[in-house]
Chain A
Amino acid sequence: AQSVSQHNHHVILSEAASLELGCNYSYGGTVNLFWYVQYPGQHLQLLLKYFSGDPLVKGIKGFEAEFIKSKFSFNLRKPSVQWSDTAEYFCAVNANTNAGKSTFGDGTTLTVKP
């Protein structure tokens, strides 16, 4: 069975600070990896995704994530956060053999102080 672990429940940063949110997954086969974001009062939105190829993927709003297969990790990064990045971030994984079924982590709440 797949599982996803997000290391931090709540992260507080000041504007312009760098961000890294950890995500580790448990699954032995080929996976597809996602980061979703939920801004206050809004629905979940896809931030970026990884299927294959270059392990460094770039998403919207300056976010990027790096897939490290040997560490079963898919950490989310942003060099300089803005107040508008305040949101909840979810890491998710699905297996190529079971693509419709995504397993989510419990989320990390990011608060950016102006």
Chain B
Amino acid sequence: DAGVTQSPTHLIKTRGQQVTLRCSPKSGHDTVSWYQQALGQGPQFIFQYYEEEERQRGNFPDRFSGHQFPNYSSELNVNALLLGDSALYLCASSAGTGISGAFFGQGTRLTVV
């Protein structure tokens, strides 16, 4: 049973570019949450998708957007990249509201130069 898978594992982008990160949730999970983890900090909640809609959102600008597909997989898009967007981006999947905790992927390391 595959856990949460994310792609790519590493990515280097130039300031101002756009990036798309992908996530496949654990089998049986229908909810996907995205987190940004800067070096030396804990994960910060970006947003959560359920039934193909954004259900919750953290304090991130509109440059951060997402999508969930009918098969529950999800994408995170970041436009107009800034140097400060360099971080590890984590995808977490859960069943329903996620009240029982979440399963995390290995993350995508994004470097903006």
Contact = CB atoms under 8 A, between A and B. Distances in A.
A22 to B, nearest CB: 14
A106 B40 contact: yes
Contacts, number: 63
Interface string A11-28: 000000000000000000
A34 interface: yes
B28 interface: no
Contacts of A56: none
Contacts of B100: 49, 51
Interface of A: 4, 32, 34, 36, 42-46, 49, 51, 90, 92, 94, 96, 98-107
A74 to B, nearest CB: 14
Contacts of A102: 33, 43, 45, 98, 102
Contact of B45 (A32, A45, A49, A101): A101
A46 B56 contact: no
Interface residues of B, number: 30
A36 B104 CA distance: 10
B73 interface: no
Given A101-B48, A101-B56, A46 B102 contact: yes
Contacts of A36: 104
A90 B88 CA distance: 15
Interface string B67-105: 000000000000000000000001010100111111111
A100 B56 contact: yes
B104 A32 contact: no
Nearest to B48: A100
B56 A43 contact: no
